[in-house]
Amino acid sequence: MKIGVDIDNTITHTTEMIMHYARIFGEKHGLNTVADPSYYYLEDALGWERDIAEHFLDVYLPDIYREMRPKDQAVEVMRQLKDEHELVLITSRNQKFPEVEQVTLEWLERYGIAYDGLILNATPNKHFFSKLGVCKEQGIEIMIEDHHDLIMELAQAFPVIVFDYPYNRHINAQNVYRVTHWQEVLERINQLAAKRSAI
């Protein structure tokens, strides 16, 4: 099968690393550093002005992307999946941001992430893009994702395996399979692949 895989908060612990740097930046500038985890976006989770959050991300994102770690078993499960399936990484990381594409490629190499293709966001929105068009173009049959709007959009077309977070917990739609660990991703994909070959 052709599987789409998001990167941030799917392969990686991105929010933890963002909050680590947000604490340093916030303390330096007298901003709130206690996040509300039910919000996805930094300005909402911390109550920062949007332009302050943008400035923070402009400065810190390359370091954040460089220093984050893969989730437990992500590397191993992706290697196993790649033996039987095609894995296309589809991320809202924007290739127009300085360093982002290069830092991402280096990080994937450093951790030995197994994948067949990488598609970055090339839209004017720095932090989000609709992935449905790209998934259709690529012939994606399953997506692994955490972003609430993307889950809703993609689940209308094919199964979406969702990494559980407070900000996506309100979603309970058909085609949505919630997981908390990469081992569950593997089990779920095996089930979906078996179901598909039985048709």
Would you tell me the crossing angle of helices 14-29 and 50-67 to the nearest 10 degrees?
Answer: 130
Give the number of other CB atoms < 10 A from CB of residue 120.
Answer: 19
Beta carbon nearer to Mg ion, 49 or 164? 164
Shortest spacing between CB 147 and Mg ion, in angstroms? 5
Shortest spacing between CB 65 and Mg ion, in angstroms? 12
> Cβ(86)–Cβ(116) under 8 Å?
yes
Q: Identify the bridge partners of residue 142 per DSSP, sorted by sequence position.
A: 3
Shortest spacing between CB 146 and Mg ion, in angstroms? 4
Name the residue whose CB lies closest to Mg ion. Answer: 8
Beta pairing class for 86-94 and 2-5: parallel
Shortest spacing between CB 8 and Mg ion, in angstroms? 4
Q: Which residues contribute to the site for Mg ion (CB under 5 A)? A: 6, 8-9, 146
Beta carbon nearer to Mg ion, 21 or 128? 128
Beta carbon nearer to Mg ion, 31 or 171? 171
Beta pairing class for 160-163 and 86-94: unpaired
Beta carbon nearer to Mg ion, 72 or 84? 72
Q: Cα(9)–Cα(167) distance, rounded to whole angstroms?
A: 12
